[in-house]
Amino acid sequence: MAISQHLLQILDRLADGRFHSGTELAESAAISRSAVCKQLQNLDKLDLGYSAISGKGYKLNQPLQLLDENTIRQALNENTRALLQRLEIHPCLASTNTYLQHAGSAHATACFAEYQTAGRGRRGRQWVSPFGRNIYLSLRYHYQSGPAVIAGLSLAVGVAVIRALNSLNISDAGLKWPNDIYWQHKKLGGILIEVGGEAEGPSHAVVGLGLNGFLPQHLSQTIDQPCTDLYSIVGDKAFTLRNRLAAALLNQLTPVLHDFDATALPSFIEEWRQYDCLYGKTVTLYQGKQQHQGILDGIDEHGQLLLCTADGNRQTFASGEISFRPGHEDSA
């Protein structure tokens, strides 16, 4: 659905989670009271629960912090400010990754959306992208080298996201190979990297991150794997840390994307291993129609997955999807 400027103005007023009268909302958006009522009908479609009580007005059931470019910019460090050429915030896009694929040649562009109508995950999956609660961020970077050199970027991006969470005292998040963000064996976020360009370079990468701030239950039930959100970790704070989180992610991701080359990989691999949340777990690795069961033994120096199978072999995998179900561990 389209998100009008009027609706954004009303949401800005309602963001504090307190009651606001219809008259006040009408004034803030410079529209009639009946137009306010019409706009408020959109809140259900946006999964923003609200209450209406006669004599008191309207209130959102949970506070909301819309992304604000000035607030985010103010929280960027000098290095990130110098490196980032463009920062865009959109109320609604089909997908921030798709948008940045057609974003021209600016060297370093970051784009957030409040809402994605066609958010994309890896392996052709949909990425559930309700309005105003989560982070949908894509960054586009250009490289002189070809796509092969930036393959290891996938691990480095996961490390940068964990660093950003740690910088906000959201600790204990881990990584599931190659770069899913996990917390207590549930998926908190995911990364989709799309690379284009010439085999010998130049090339570009669009790095997309989805991080769940608050997923209403009826939406999390539609996701085919256990997932979690920041609300489950930090409670109500999840509703008011979006701009700080957005800036922390840019502060960590921008230098990593800027400096990344083959020589940077070993230190990221070292750090990635510290966040490996499935080390030693019994899992199934899916590769197309093939399944491999075994015990995870971390990653090698190229970032490939190591799996010890029942026959005592240690196999190396460059791609695949790990399935781990706590309490339902298959025996290798």
Residues lying near ligand BTN in the complex (CB under 6 A): 95-97, 116, 119-122, 125, 127, 136-138, 180, 190-192, 208-210
To the nearest whole angstrom, how small is the minimum distance from the Cβ of residue 227 to ligand BTN?
10
140 is annotated as an active-site residue: no
Q: Name the active-site residue from 120, 140, 187, 242.
A: 187
Classify residue 297 as exposed, middle or buried by CB count within 10 Å of its CB (0-12, 13-18, 19+). Answer: middle
C-beta of 36 vs 250, nearer to ligand BTN: 250
Half-sphere exposure of 301 (CA within 13 A, CB side): 3
Q: How far apart are CA 105 and CA 109, in angstroms?
A: 9
Closest to ligand BTN by CB, 40 vs 175, is 175
Catalytic residue chosen out of the listed positions 122, 163, 237, 273: 122
Shortest CB 23 distance to ligand BTN, Å: 38
Beta pairing class for 108-113 and 135-143: antiparallel
| CB closer to ligand BTN, 152 vs 189 | 189
Shortest-Cβ-distance residue relative to ligand BTN: 190
- Residue where the block lists tokens 């549930």: 186
Minimum CB distance to ligand BTN smaller for 69 or for 200 = 69
CB of 38 to ligand BTN, least distance (A): 30
Looking at the chain, the number of H-run helices and the number of E-run strands are: 11, 14
Residue 325 among the catalytic residues: yes
**Closest by alpha carbon to 171, among 269, 266, 277, 62?**
277
Backbone phi, psi, residue 163, to 5°: -60, -40
- In the bound complex, what is the minimum distance in angstroms from residue 89's beta carbon to ligand BTN? 13
CB of 197 to ligand BTN, least distance (A): 19
Nearer to ligand BTN, 114 or 180 (CB): 180
The answer to whether the beta carbons of residues 181 and 189 sit under 8 Å apart is: yes
Instruction: Please report, to the nearest 10 degrees, the dihedral formed by the alpha carbons of residues 120, 219, 163, 88 taken in order.
Output: 50
Beta bridge partners of 305: 299, 317
Write out the catalytic residue numbers.
122, 187, 325
